[in-house]
Amino acid sequence: MTDKRCMRILLGVTGGIAAYKSPDLVRRLRERGAEVQVVMTEGARQFVTPLTFQAVSGREVRDSLWDAGAEAAMGHIELARWADVVLVAPATAEFIAKLAQGRADDLLATLCVATASPVSIAPAMNQQMWANPATQSNVATLRGRGITVLGPGSGDQACGETGEGRMLEPAELAASVLDSLSGSRPLAGCRVVVTAGPTRERIDPVRFISNRSSGKMGYAVAQAAREAGAEVVLVSGPVSLPTPAGVTRIDVESARQMHDAVHAALAGADIYIGAAAIADYEPASVAEDKIKKYSDTMTLELIRAPDILASVAALPARPFVVGFAAETRDVEQNARSKLENKRLDMIAANRVGDGIAFDQDENSLLLLWSGGREELATCGKLELARKLVGRIAELRAGTTRAKADNVVRVRR
């Protein structure tokens, strides 16, 4: 298992006097192990130089949508995906208004619109501006959209007045952002590879062997893992589903292609979840031309397709490996054999058959792991996937702790 990667914070700095505290905020976030990418608005540059932020963050500051060099290194959409959370501190009244309107006329506003990650703002302004009904209405709009509003605090202001509108102190902001990330987003900082859908094994240019998987279960798992804060790569067989927001999707057709795509995506992965219905056998050879019907019967020679799940579990530095088991009978017994034979960390078993699991909107799962089991009753696949991902995060945390304990014991 790889080490958990750092939390990635995209810190937006807008043009208010409280921007002088933002370099300290970068320092506090980094002290707690986060990686910080600073994005400044033009107004922010009037208060603090980009060089200051570059020095404390260790990364070049981004401030323009139109910087071809920076865009070539990490485009704004990539940057929006990179972040586990976007924190705007300080957030001026002007920026809050812009965010409430959903405008995207500079890099920071664009990133706030383009990200699928949570956005937090730390307002900072004169107390009268904060109390203004327009500001209050904008803040309420943002709260209604799920944006977290941190503060503001109350006290003496730079303009000589006293009241609400002070940006919270850097240490307090760093703690609330990072603590909420690790609590409500138990997979923040993790990279998860999920497979979904069927595979197609070519017989000739127009025929293939496949199955009834719609991809709904695997796509729901990918969405739930993303909601839990993970960076998610979804390796998908041919399905007609939209890609969940914030998820990177790689399309494949055959089991071999899926095998290669999974192994390419596994670098740095913490968790692998195999929800795809992958062919166990593939034709020994693929006819170049459409096969003609010369006789009453025909025999198709099949050979074993690569077992992707087993190959992932056999890696020397393997991620936490979760398989699915699709069974028409003896569900628990068959699934436990797969768990043990393939040395998986967990298996999610479902009964399949006529009108069950495959291509349905609902499903139920029996989760099995070494020394444990849990039944997840029938419900929508997304709800089910959220419960599955929650259990995976808990088990993995336990395993990670156990492994860390082992390392400590061995070193002593």
Instruction: List residues binding ligand PMT (CB under 6 A).
Output: 195, 197, 213-218, 255, 274-280, 305, 307-309, 323-326, 338, 350, 352, 357-359
Tally of CA atoms within 13 A in the half-sphere of 325 that contains its CB:
27
Per the CB < 8 A criterion, the answer to whether 229 and 246 are in contact is no
Residue 83 or residue 352: which is nearer to ligand PMT going by CB? 352
Query: What is the Cα 393 distance to its own chain's centre?
Result: 13
Quick one: DSSP state of residue 102?
A: T
Number of H helices, E strands in the chain: 14, 19
Which residues, 6 or more positions from 298, have their beta carbon under 8 angstroms from its beta carbon?
Answer: 291
Residue 179 or residue 330: which is nearer to ligand PMT going by CB? 330
Strands 281-283 and 302-304: antiparallel
Alpha-carbon gap, residue 15 to 22, rounded angstroms: 11
- Minimum Å distance from CB 317 to ligand PMT? 19
Task: Give helix 93-101 / helix 133-144 axis angle, nearest 10°.
Answer: 50
- Minimum Å distance from CB 406 to ligand PMT? 27
- Minimum Å distance from CB 116 to ligand PMT? 22
Per the CB < 8 A criterion, the answer to whether 275 and 194 are in contact is yes
Residue 76 or residue 396: which is nearer to ligand PMT going by CB? 396
Alpha-carbon gap, residue 303 to 198, rounded angstroms: 18
- Minimum Å distance from CB 185 to ligand PMT? 24
- Minimum Å distance from CB 71 to ligand PMT? 37
- List alpha helices for 67-119, DSSP H: 68-73, 76-82, 93-101, 107-114
Residue 304 or residue 403: which is nearer to ligand PMT going by CB? 304
Residue 197 or residue 229: which is nearer to ligand PMT going by CB? 197
Alpha-carbon gap, residue 83 to 79, rounded angstroms: 7
Residue 139 or residue 344: which is nearer to ligand PMT going by CB? 344
- Minimum Å distance from CB 277 to ligand PMT? 4
Instruction: Tell me, yes or no, if 159 is annotated catalytic.
Output: yes
Catalytic residue among 6, 112, 159, 190: 159
Please give the positions annotated as active site.
159
